[in-house]
Copies of this chain bind each other. A is one copy, B any other.
Amino acid sequence: MKKNTNVDIIDVAIKAGVSPATVSRSFNHPNKVLKSTRKKIEKAIFQTGYIRNRAAQAIQGKRSGTVGLIVPTLDNAIFSNLIQAFSVEMRKHGFTMLVATNGYDLNDEYKLLRSLLEHRVEGVALIGHDHSEETYNLLDIRNVPVVSMWNYKEESKISCVGGENKEAGIEIAKHIISLGHKKIAIAFPNVKENDRARDRQIGVIEYLNSKNICIPEYWNIKTEYSVNDARNCAEELFKNHPLPTAIIAGNDVIAKGIIYAAQANGLNVPGDISITGIGDFSSSESSFPSITTVRMRPNKVGVKAANVLLERINGDREAEPIRIKVSVEVKARESTKLITN
């Protein structure tokens, strides 16, 4: 078997009886070359086993045919869905995807971004809005087309596609109301420093208020963003105050802690009390009881983000960020139930 690694565009050109320029054009501007010539070239490509060298193309500084994606981890069903959708959509447009995982480390993310730029990706997709100053700086200086997937943010510096935290709050509140609950507690982390948590909380409270439900102070749990602290805070509530029929937690981790607290206090979830999270972590589906939560629509977000990125790649690089809101969906699971009494 002939081992062949080195056939180049010139070999193809000779075989086809044309110049290298024409072969190149038949790839990049097929309409600029005569159909009959194209046929000859295709035949020559087949006969020689030629495979185009994108590196040599990329060196011209125009196109590399790749986009980069930096994601915290792949070990997560939602990221997987998101990436899958994004990847398929990009490929439809002729792009191959370079993927890197940063393990939620922003410093590492910066390094990965540099590495992707070394490969001259034509655009970059990131997750969320938590990025280092260095990262934003680099994106800006090199004027890289970029899109953030996951959550919508009104004042984001870069284009973004995703769900809105306030809407997530509204939706979960709506769900709890639709199950007939009236005695409702909430559990949020410190919303001063965390705009995601704040927006969610605002959504929840505004919706409840609109249904004439108010949260007394002793049903307004303030907790750290950790299973243990949430558990302790909830135990305090169970011991010292009247029992609500539902608790809306600011995220799934807190919900988990509250469920532990409830179970430890002999309460059945959802029999005695319904508990909800927001965000849908991978463990929320398989924990017991599985946690009712609200999540983004990863497929929609992936596809739309790809299109936003393509628009930035092909269009005006100085334009204002494009921001697209994608509605969120409530995932009703075992931790909530209809109120019957």
State the A residues within 8 Å of B (CB). 1-5, 49, 51-59, 64-66, 73-77, 79-81, 83-84, 87-88, 91, 96-101, 103, 114-120, 140-143, 285-286
Contacts and interface: CB of A to CB of B under 8 A. Distances in A.
B101 A49 contact: no
B88 A54 contact: no
A232 B143 CA distance: 60
A96 B100 contact: yes
Nearest to A76: B80
A42 to B, nearest CB: 14
A96 B84 contact: no
24 contacts: A1-B141, A2-B141, A3-B142, A49-B141, A51-B117, A51-B118, A54-B55, A54-B118, A55-B57, A55-B59, A55-B119, A59-B59, A66-B98, A73-B84, A74-B81, A74-B87, A75-B80, A75-B81, A75-B84, A80-B80, A84-B101, A97-B100, A99-B99, A286-B286
Question: Which of A56, A84, A142 is packed against the most chain B CB atoms within 10 Å?
Answer: A84
Contacts of A55: 54-59, 64, 119-120
A133 B49 CA distance: 15
A5 B53 contact: no
Given A99-B87, A141-B1, A120 B54 contact: yes
Contacts of A53: 59, 118, 120
Contacts of A56: 55, 59
Nearest to A143: B3
A307 to B, nearest CB: 18
Contacts of A75: 80-81, 84
Contacts of A81: 74-75
A64 B97 CA distance: 15
Given A55-B59, A96-B100, A142-B4, A74 B66 contact: no
Contacts of A80: 74-77, 79-80
